[in-house]
Structure 1
Amino acid sequence: MYRNQILSRIEETAIMAIVRVETEERAIEIAEGCLAGGVDCLEISYTLPNAGEIISFLTKRYGDRLLIGAGTVLDSETARLAILAGAKFIIAPNYQESVCRLANRYQIPYMPGCTSVTEMLTAMEAGAAMVKAFPISNFYGSNLVSTFKTPTPYMPIMSSGGVTVENISEWLATGVECMGVGSLLTKGSTQDIAKNAVALRQAVIDFRQAN
């Protein structure tokens, strides 16, 4: 799968589950719930030491049905291990040039966390595929995307946190390319996760049909 195909799929789904999971069994429950609800993009966070094993396990089990990437990737060593495990994209809470260079070498989309226009443009100029508004999404809400896109409407932005079933239409109205969602898509039973995933994806579909 090429870089442009990966990005197209992320933007088409528009929702990404941010997953921190300790066991393969729980990873399956989350994956099944997300898939049942139409969310096929999962970020597996390297805040847990078994992230590489989970990425490899889910990739082998679901193949192209799921688009699995690595999150909280702070250095190029971790990025390379994640790619070898099967990660199709790399996400970080910060911008790191060495990670950006490595991701570009293997044509893997890199989405670093940025808090200012200066950081975002630096990352984009270096080859980042998308910028992650982190940790400011939770603090400022959807208005921050509109603020960033006013001077740089061509810059693809992923939010991280702050999205709910009730306010997702507000986020979509800002032109955000992808929304990272945590507890709604990782807590509770498979059925709970599927219910939330359906609601979020339907909101995306409804918004696009109306606009």
Structure 2
Amino acid sequence: MFKTKILTRIEESGIMAIVRVETIERAIEITEGCLAGGVDCMEISYTLPNAGEIIKQLSERYDERLLIGAGTVLDSETARLAILSGAKFIIAPNYNESVCRLCNRYQIPYMPGCTSITEMLTAIEAGAAMVKAFPISSYYGPSLVATIKTPTPYLPVMSSGGANLENIDKWLESGVDCIGVGSLLTKGTTEEISKNATQLRQAVICYRA
């Protein structure tokens, strides 16, 4: 899958599930709920030691139905292991030059966390595919993206934290390119996750109509 195709799919989905999960059984429950609701992009966080195995098993089980990537990737060693496990994109809470170089080498989109315009432009100039507004998106809310996009309208931004069913429309109106969502898409039963995913995706579809 080419880098541009991966990015296009992320942008078209508009919603990404941010998942921290201990077992493959629970990962499958979450995935089934997300896919049933139309959310087909998922980040598996490397805050847990079994992240690589989860990515591998989900990639094999769902193939092209699910676009799966790795999150909380702090170094190039972890990035390479994640890619070998099947990760189609790499996300981090920080910018790391060696991770950026490695991802570009293998044509994998890299989305580092940045807190300032200087950090964001540094990352993009080095080859990052998108910047993650972290942890500032959960603090400032939707107005943050609009503020970033005013001087740099070409800058692709992913939010991480702060989005919910009540304010999803405001996030979309802010110009955000992808919205990372945690609890709504990872807590509760498969049916509850599916219901939340459906509402989030419907908001995206309605906004873009």
The one-character-per-residue Cα deviations of 1:162-206 (angstroms, maximum 9, x if unpaired) are: 111111110001110000000000000000000000000000001
Aligned amino acid, residue 4 of structure 2: N
How far 1:44 moved relative to its partner?
A: 0.1
- Give distance in 1, aligned partners of 2:36 and 2:197: 8
The one-character-per-residue Cα deviations of 1:58-96 (angstroms, maximum 9, x if unpaired) are: 000000000000000000000000000000000000000
Aligned to 1:24: 24
2:164 is aligned with 1:164: yes
Aligned to 1:204: 204
Aligned amino acid, residue 7 of structure 1: L
- Give distance in 1, aligned partners of 2:183 and 2:76: 28
Q: Secondary structure at the match of 1:17?
A: strand
Normalising by the residue count of structure 2, what TM-score does the alignment of the two structures yield?
A: 1.00
2:106 is aligned with 1:106: yes
- Give distance in 2, aligned partners of 1:24 and 1:123: 33
Question: Mapping of 1:1-211 within 5 angstroms?
Answer: 1-209=1-209
Q: What is the number of equivalent residue pairs in this alignment?
A: 209
- Give distance in 1, aligned partners of 2:205 and 2:147: 24
Among the aligned pairs, what percent are the same residue? 78
Q: Secondary structure at the match of 1:12?
A: helix
- Give distance in 2, aligned partners of 1:111 and 1:204: 21
- Give distance in 2, aligned partners of 1:204 and 1:137: 18
Q: Deviating runs (4+, > 6 A) in structure 1?
A: none
Q: Secondary structure at the match of 1:44?
A: strand
RMSD over aligned CA atoms reads: 0.3
Q: Secondary structure at the match of 1:180?
A: strand
Aligned amino acid, residue 99 of structure 2: V
- Give distance in 1, aligned partners of 2:205 and 2:112: 27
Normalising by the residue count of structure 1, what TM-score does the alignment of the two structures yield?
A: 0.99
- Give distance in 2, aligned partners of 1:175 and 1:139: 17
